[in-house]
Amino acid sequence: MSLGSAVDTGITHNYEQKIESAADLPTDDVLDAFSTDFEARKGETQWGKDEKVGDVKDDGVRVIKVYQDEIAPTVQPVATQQKVRLEIPNFDYDLLIVPDVEQTGNIIRDTKVVGKSPPGVKSGNPQPQPHHFVQMTAYAMATAARTGEPTKGGVVDYCVKTKTAKVVPVPVSFTESDYTYFKNMIALTARQIELEHFVPNRQSTLCSRKYCGYFAECEKDFGGRVKE
Torsion, CA 97, CA 31, CA 66, CA 157, rounded to 10 = 0
What is the pLDDT, as a whole number, of residue 209? 85
- pLDDT, tens only, 26-81: 999 999 999 999 999 887 877 777 778 888 899 999 999 999 999 999 999 999 99
Percentage of residues of the chain with pLDDT beyond 90: 64
Kindly indicate the confidence band of residue 187, based on its pLDDT and cuts at 50, 70 and 90.
Answer: confident
Distance from C-alpha of 80 to C-alpha of 98, rounded to nearest angstrom? 9
Residue 126 and residue 170 in contact, taking contact as beta carbons nearer than 8 Å: yes
Instruction: Identify the CA nearest to 104 among candidates 74, 77, 67, 68.
Output: 77
Distance from C-alpha of 215 to C-alpha of 187, rounded to nearest angstrom? 25
Residue 82 has pLDDT above 80, yes or no: yes
Domains defined along the chain, listed by start: 2-197 (3.90.320), 200-228 (no CATH)
What is the pLDDT, as a whole number, of residue 108? 97
